[in-house]
Every structure is written in structure tokens, then in C-alpha cells.
């Protein structure tokens, strides 16, 4: 009788352990969405007017962590999500390779906002979109106290680079390739 109770308790314990591990398991897409959410929250905290700005654009890509490094030859990579009306619609990778004056390593976050419906649709309908070839992206420069909703954007796609760590003696967004992905 005692043996049956002990076996039952051990069985229940292991079943509970397995169920709790399954409940704690998070898919790569959920993990990426969580990182995107944290980046959006930081962007809204650090950039005056960001909340209103993002609610007014047609869609935006968020890359929570883009790693770049190089010395003469450089490379960069990150993964992110396209949000339309605040909801993830698709996942993308961003990759770049370059040759020229550059040195260092850097990690940063980026939000790319699509101001017009046309620019968003061109991006969504492309099969491998390249900045500078398939569309021009303006890198926004704003002061610490400047509200980004007060800036007039002349191009239909605007990038905000923030949360930068490290030092890289080169800044360019042209040549960066975007590809649809399924988070792994």
C-alpha cells in the first residue's frame, strides 16, 4: 500500500514537472516578439513623441538587436518584426556586408517607420528588399529633447537608431538587405 502511494506521488510529481516545463517553453517567435516589445517600450521612453509617431505611421519594423562589426571588411545581422497597427504581421532579418573605412563593433536597436501606404506595400510585396536599391531610408537625427512628431520627414521611410552600445567608425544604412524569416 505504501509502495503504491509513493509511486503515485512520484508519478504526479513527474507529470507536473513535464507540464510546467511545457508551459514555460517559449517559441522563437514569442521570444522575438518579447524582445520587440521591450525595444518599442524603450523607444517610447527615450524618444519624445515616439508613441504618437508610431500610432500615425502605416507600419514599422523593429530590430531589437543588430550586431555590427568589422575592420575594413564589415558585417551586420539582426532579426525583427513588422508591426501594423501594433500587431506583428511578419518577421524579418536584416543583413549587411561592407568594405571600406570602418573599425569596431556595435550593438544597436532600430525602428524603421513606413510613412506612406505605398512604401509599406512595396516593402511587404518584395522578395528580398534592399535599402538604397528598392527604396530610400532616411536616418532620423533628433535631439534629446526634440519631439519626433515635430520633424517633417521628406522620405516615405524613416529609420531611428537607438540604444547603441559599442563604437563603430561608420554609419550607413544603404546596402542593408531585408528578408522574410520564420524565427528559429
pLDDT at 79 > cutoff 50: yes
Residue 128 in any domain: the answer is yes
Spatial contact of 153 and 141, defined as CB atoms under 8 Å apart: no
Cβ neighbour number for residue 30 with a 10 Å cutoff: 11
Threshold 0.75, pTM exceeds = yes
Residue 70 in any domain: the answer is yes
CA distance 136 to 123: 11
Spatial contact of 109 and 67, defined as CB atoms under 8 Å apart: no
Pairing mode, strands 87-114 and 138-139: unpaired
pLDDT digits (tens, 9 = 90+) for 3-33: 556 555 655 655 554 555 454 568 899 999 9
Spatial contact of 50 and 148, defined as CB atoms under 8 Å apart: yes
Residue 84 in any domain: the answer is yes
What's the total number of domains in the chain?
A: 1
Residue 99 in any domain: the answer is yes
Q: What is the mean pLDDT of residues 60-64?
A: 96
| φ/ψ of residue 9, rounded to 5 | -65, -45
Q: What is the mean pLDDT of residues 79-105?
A: 87
pLDDT at 1 > cutoff 80: no
Spatial contact of 106 and 171, defined as CB atoms under 8 Å apart: no
Give the domain extent around 144.
27-181
Q: CB neighbours of 44 closer than 8 A, spacing ≥ 6?
A: 50, 51, 54
Residue 110 in any domain: the answer is yes
pLDDT at 55 > cutoff 60: yes
Residue 113 in any domain: the answer is yes
Residue 177 in any domain: the answer is yes
Q: What is the mean pLDDT of residues 107-134?
A: 84
Amino acid at each position: 500500500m505504501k509502495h503504491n502511494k509513493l509511486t503515485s506521488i512520484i508519478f504526479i510529481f513527474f507529470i507536473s514537472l513535464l507540464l510546467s516545463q511545457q508551459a514555460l517553453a517559449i517559441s522563437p517567435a514569442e521570444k522575438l516578439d518579447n524582445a520587440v516589445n521591450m525595444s518599442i517600450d524603450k523607444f517610447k521612453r527615450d524618444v519624445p513623441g515616439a508613441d504618437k509617431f508610431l500610432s500615425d505611421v502605416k507600419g514599422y519594423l523593429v530590430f531589437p538587436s543588430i550586431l555590427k562589426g568589422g575592420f575594413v571588411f564589415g558585417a551586420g545581422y539582426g532579426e525583427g518584426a513588422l508591426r501594423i497597427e501594433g500587431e506583428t504581421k511578419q518577421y524579418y532579418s536584416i543583413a549587411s556586408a561592407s568594405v571600406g573605412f570602418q573599425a569596431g563593433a556595435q550593438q544597436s536597436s532600430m525602428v524603421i517607420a513606413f510613412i506612406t501606404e505605398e512604401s509599406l506595400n512595396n516593402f511587404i510585396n518584395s522578395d528580398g528588399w534592399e535599402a538604397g536599391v528598392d527604396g530610400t531610408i532616411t536616418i532620423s537625427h533628433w535631439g534629446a529633447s526634440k519631439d519626433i512628431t515635430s520633424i517633417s520627414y521628406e522620405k516615405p521611410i524613416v529609420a531611428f537608431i537607438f540604444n547603441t552600445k559599442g563604437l563603430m567608425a561608420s554609419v550607413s544604412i544603404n546596402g542593408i538587405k531585408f528578408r522574410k524569416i520564420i524565427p528559429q
